[in-house]
Amino acid sequence: MIQILQIIQIFQIPYFSSIIHYPILIAEDPSDEFVALRDLVSLELCQKYLPDLFSKESILKTNRLTKETIEKARDICKLTKQEIRRVYEICFLQSININDQEQMKNFRLLVKQRLYAPLQFDKRRRLQLADPTLEALATDPEKRKKYLSTQYEYVLEHYENILRAFDKYKD
């Protein structure tokens, strides 16, 4: 009986030691503070484990989020596509000169493209937009522009706070 247990232990140890354990925390409706903490941790993970993809030089060279970056960040850092996009935007803001109008324009377009994606509208999704506010934003260009502008300002302030906290954390 002891020999059988030892054999079972020998076969089970390599199997279980190869499994990587990491906690999974799902927040359905996270608060702003939770989102900020998640962004800060995600930024740290990406810059620590994927410095070649999230470095200043790499971001300024590509100037857009690539499929390769998304796949590697998913595999290595275990982030969702939405989190990867947010981290990329934060790294993009960190990499550019805020006083350079052209670079800020590229950043603004990158952020607004992400914000605009849920509002893109076609006939198949028309029935899915049960919220009248979303439908109004999807159909009325003036409301959409105002919404995107206010959301962009909020995102910019949020990212600047994240970068300040990240710089303080690094020191």
Model pTM greater than 0.85? no
Q: What is the pLDDT of residue 68?
A: 92
d(C-alpha 137, C-alpha 116), whole Å? 10
pLDDT at 19: 53
User: So what's the pLDDT on residue 170?
Assistant: 78
Q: How far is CA 159 from CA 33, 77, 120, in A?
A: 12, 20, 24
**What's the pLDDT score for residue 44?**
94
- Would you list the DSSP string of 34-52? HHHHHHHHHHHHHHHH-TT
Query: What pLDDT sits at residue 49?
Result: 94
pLDDT for 2 equals 45
Q: What is the mean pLDDT of each run of 10 residues along the chain (171 residues)?
A: 43 48 71 92 94 91 90 93 96 95 95 85 56 73 90 97 92 67
pLDDT at 23 (0 to 100): 67
Helices 32-49, 67-77: crossing angle, 10 deg rounding: 100
Q: What is the pLDDT of residue 22?
A: 58
